């Protein structure tokens, strides 16, 4: 017999969020609420096949999300009608009845730490309780279930069913429980719905257990990590807690931040010591920032790989792209879709790179668009040059060899090619391959019209007089 399984209750409607999306898919930073809960369980060493998530309201979306983000053998169970948390646990009985111990977690408590969940899991060994529940003490007990402690037992009274006296209690139920399966099975069918909400409350299991001479207990954890998410305000508050936790972690790892309060870093990003983060920076997805990199103000990175000593001057947006060691970007550039700056390359002011590879020591300093382009090493792209990579149907490629010099305002009508050492004259429209070490001049010749200004001024004067 397997010892322990975990049931995550995520079938509820989340009415108070007032959102079309299911509550557990709402984001805290760039992860969904449910991701934190499941990642935490996995970090405690519970195998996916011993975890079940109960879905219902918006269940198709939750199921699709879980299947995309977590290993295949995570169990997804359905509670088609949501009749309360007691009904939820009953619905999953076939899953947990073959185990010795059952951990039940509300799916809307994402801030619980690994240490705390481990403590709950260990409680099945360290105490002889048939049910242990986690509580927290709060100044604002709001709608949480109140913890009623008696000499050797604990019970929970839901807010809506509580008297004024009981509502004053500041120790509340966090919605995380450890049950011994055998005693739970004996009483689960005794949970009734004769309460204000006409729901089957899991919290009633405790008083029923007490009445059957079973043992119940509670231990207190910090409010900050045990608060549930029921409203947009609570979602925002959870985001603030998670943000601060991640920021403090990276400060502890030697990252320097001028204004930590203004910085966002996703849970899956990794930073090295001596990285400098300026105010207003956001780092999302699975970004990796290596030693000595400088991320200037207002920059937004998502799945960005940033090499050692890279300088991002300010206001760069970098998505799904790589900046190798000692390369440089910004201010005001957009680097996206698998672009790469090789070592010591540079993408500067008002430059967009899309699916483009900029070779070592090559520079795209001003006002350029490079789309589907490959540049060799030591290339210089003059200001205002662009690839015309889209013909209305296909995206076509541009190749620029090593040591090329591209004059300002060159248009590369792709597919286009400059062989090594080639150059273009300013204002050229390149439609044919430029051979090695050649200069392409592809623009209209200049014509000077003598005396034009005098004639022009006379015409203006005449029109004013008439
Ligand atoms: C619940 C507790 C309350 C506790 C609080 C802590 C009960 C009766 N009350 O209240 O004592 O203080 O959590 O955050 O348990 N769910 C289902 N199926 C259902 C109903 C709920 O899966 O039929 C899921 C929800 O998706 C949610 C969790 O269970 O993740 C808790 O439900 P919710 O309605 O948020 O309970 P609370 O009113 O917050
Ligand atoms: Ca809740």
CA 180 / ligand 2 centre spacing (Å): 23
Q: Does residue 346 fall inside a structural domain?
A: yes
Q: Which of 195, 226, 257 is where one domain is finished?
A: 226
Q: Which of 226, 245, 279 is where one domain is finished?
A: 226
Q: Cβ distance 290 to 273 under 8 Å?
A: no
Shared domain check, 140 and 12:
yes
Tell me which DSSP letter residue 434 carries.
B
Pairs from 195-198 (Cβ < 8 Å, separation ≥ 24):
195/158, 195/160, 195/161, 196/158, 196/160, 196/161, 197/84, 197/158, 197/160
Q: Does residue 449 fall inside a structural domain?
A: no
> pLDDT category, 266, cuts 50, 70, 90?
very high
Q: Does residue 464 fall inside a structural domain?
A: no
> Which atom in ligand 1 lies closest to the alpha carbon of residue 144?
12
- Chain-wide mean pLDDT for the chain? 97
Q: Is the pLDDT of residue 1 over 70?
A: no
CA 109 / ligand 2 centre spacing (Å): 8
Number of domains in the chain: 2
- State the average pLDDT over residues 143-151: 96
Closest residue by Cα to residue 154 from 167, 162, 145: 145
Shared domain check, 386 and 277:
yes
Which pLDDT does position 125 carry in this prediction?
86
**Looking at 65, 366, 377, 456, which residue is catalytic?**
366
Tell me the angle at which helices 33-43 and 114-126 cross, rounded to the nearest 10 degrees.
Answer: 50
Residue 300: strand pairing partners? 282, 317
In this structure, the residue with its CA closest to atom 20 of ligand 1 is: 84
pLDDT tens-digit readout, 270-296: 999 999 999 999 999 999 999 999 999
Q: Does residue 105 fall inside a structural domain?
A: yes
Tokens of 46: 């519970």
> Which atom in ligand 1 lies closest to the alpha carbon of residue 107?
30
- Residue 204 is part of which domain span? 2-226
Shared domain check, 98 and 48:
yes
Helix (H, G, I), strand (E, B) or coil at 114: helix
Q: Does residue 450 fall inside a structural domain?
A: no
CB atoms inside a 10 Å sphere around CB 2: 11
Tokens of 368: 């350029």
CA 353 / ligand 2 centre spacing (Å): 45
54, 91, 106, 188, best to mutate for ligand 1 pocket (most atoms within 8 Å of CB): 106
Q: Cβ distance 342 to 358 under 8 Å?
A: yes
Shared domain check, 390 and 291:
yes
Tell me which DSSP letter residue 176 carries.
E
Residue 26 near ligand 1, beta carbon < 6 Å:
no
> pLDDT category, 2, cuts 50, 70, 90?
low
pLDDT tens-digit readout, 344-389: 999 999 999 999 999 999 999 999 999 999 999 999 999 999 999 9
Q: How far apart (Å, rounded) are the C-alpha atoms in residues 231 and 198?
A: 22
Which pLDDT does position 153 carry in this prediction?
97
CA 49 / ligand 1 centre spacing (Å): 24
8, 59, 62, 85, best to mutate for ligand 1 pocket (most atoms within 8 Å of CB): 85
Shared domain check, 170 and 284:
no
pLDDT tens-digit readout, 108-131: 999 999 999 999 999 998 999 999
Residue 96 near ligand 1, beta carbon < 6 Å:
no
Domain of 297, CATH number, reads 2.160.10.10
Tell me the angle at which helices 59-69 and 33-43 cross, rounded to the nearest 10 degrees.
Answer: 40
Q: Does residue 24 fall inside a structural domain?
A: yes
Shared domain check, 221 and 237:
no
Q: Is the pLDDT of residue 71 over 80?
A: no
Q: Does residue 361 fall inside a structural domain?
A: yes
Q: Is the pLDDT of residue 401 over 90?
A: yes
Angle subtended at Cα 125 by Cα 119 and Cα 129, rounded to the nearest 5 degrees: 90
Shared domain check, 271 and 141:
no
In this structure, the residue with its CA closest to atom 19 of ligand 1 is: 84
Q: Which ligand is nearest to the CA of 88?
A: 1
- State the average pLDDT over residues 386-395: 96
Which pLDDT does position 239 carry in this prediction?
98
Q: Which ligand is nearest to the CA of 136?
A: 1
Shared domain check, 252 and 373:
yes
> Which atom in ligand 1 lies closest to the alpha carbon of residue 88?
18
Tokens of 445: 């010749």
In this structure, the residue with its CA closest to atom 25 of ligand 1 is: 12
In this structure, the residue with its CA closest to atom 13 of ligand 1 is: 175
Shared domain check, 210 and 154:
yes
Helix (H, G, I), strand (E, B) or coil at 84: coil
What is the DSSP code string of 137-150? E-S--TTSPEEEE-
Which pLDDT does position 465 carry in this prediction?
87
- State the average pLDDT over residues 445-459: 95
Helix (H, G, I), strand (E, B) or coil at 16: helix
CA 106 / ligand 1 centre spacing (Å): 6
Shared domain check, 299 and 215:
no
Residue 366 known to be catalytic: yes
Shared domain check, 260 and 356:
yes
Shared domain check, 389 and 339:
yes
Domain of 104, CATH number, reads 3.90.550.10
Residue 173 near ligand 1, beta carbon < 6 Å:
yes
CA 7 / ligand 2 centre spacing (Å): 15
Q: Which ligand is nearest to the CA of 104?
A: 1
Q: Which of 206, 226, 246 is where one domain is finished?
A: 226
Q: Does residue 456 fall inside a structural domain?
A: no
Tokens of 222: 């910090």
């Amino acid at each position: 017999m397997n010892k322990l399984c975990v049931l995550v209750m995520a079938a509820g409607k989340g009415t108070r969020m007032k959102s079309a999306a299911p509550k557990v898919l709402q984001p805290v930073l760039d992860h969904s609420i449910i991701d934190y809960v499941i990642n935490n369980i996995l970090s405690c060493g519970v195998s996916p096949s011993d975890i079940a998530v109960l879905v219902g309201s918006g269940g198709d979306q939750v199921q699709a999300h879980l299947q995309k983000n977590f290993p295949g053998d995570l169990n997804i169970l359905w509670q088609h009608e949501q009749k309360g948390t007691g009904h939820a646990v009953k619905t999953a009985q076939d899953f947990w009845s073959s185990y010795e111990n059952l951990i039940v977690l509300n799916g809307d408590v994402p801030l619980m730490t690994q240490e705390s969940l481990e403590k709950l899991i260990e409680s099945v060994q360290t105490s002889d309780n048939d049910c242990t529940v986690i509580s927290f003490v709060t100044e604002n007990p709001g709608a949480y279930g109140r913890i009623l402690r008696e000499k050797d037992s604990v019970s929970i009274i839901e807010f809506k069913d509580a008297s004024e006296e009981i509502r004053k209690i500041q120790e509340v139920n966090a919605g995380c429980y450890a049950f011994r399966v055998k005693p739970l099975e004996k009483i689960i069918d005794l949970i009734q719905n004769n309460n204000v909400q006409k729901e089957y409350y899991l919290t009633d299991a405790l008083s029923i257990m007490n009445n059957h001479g079973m043992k119940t207990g509670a231990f207190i954890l910090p409010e900050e990590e045990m608060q549930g998410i029921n409203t947009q305000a609570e979602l925002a508050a959870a985001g603030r807690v998670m943000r601060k936790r991640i920021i403090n972690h990276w400060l502890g790892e030697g990252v320097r931040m001028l204004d930590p309060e203004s910085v966002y870093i996703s849970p899956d990003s990794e930073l090295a010591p001596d990285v400098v983060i300026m105010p207003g920076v956001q780092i999302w997805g699975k970004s990796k920032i290596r030693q000595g990199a400088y991320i200037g103000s207002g920059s937004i990175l998502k799945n960005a790989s940033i090499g050692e000593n890279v300088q991002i001057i300010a206001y760069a947006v970098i998505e799904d792209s790589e900046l190798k060691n000692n390369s440089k970007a910004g201010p005001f550039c957009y680097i996206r879709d698998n672009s790469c700056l090789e070592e010591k390359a540079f993408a500067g002011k008002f430059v967009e790179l899309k699916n483009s590879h900029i070779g070592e020591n090559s520079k795209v300093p001003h006002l350029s668009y490079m789309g589907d382009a490959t540049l060799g090493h030591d290339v210089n792209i003059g200001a205002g040059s662009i690839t015309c990579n889209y013909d209305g149907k296909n995206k076509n490629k541009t190749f620029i060899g090593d040591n090329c010099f591209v004059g300002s305002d060159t248009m590369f009508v792709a597919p286009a090619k400059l062989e090594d050492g080639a150059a273009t004259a300013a204002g050229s429209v390149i439609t044919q391959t430029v051979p090695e070490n050649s200069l392409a001049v592809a623009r209209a010749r200049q014509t000077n019209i003598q005396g034009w200004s005098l004639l022009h001024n006379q015409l203006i004067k005449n029109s004013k007089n008439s």
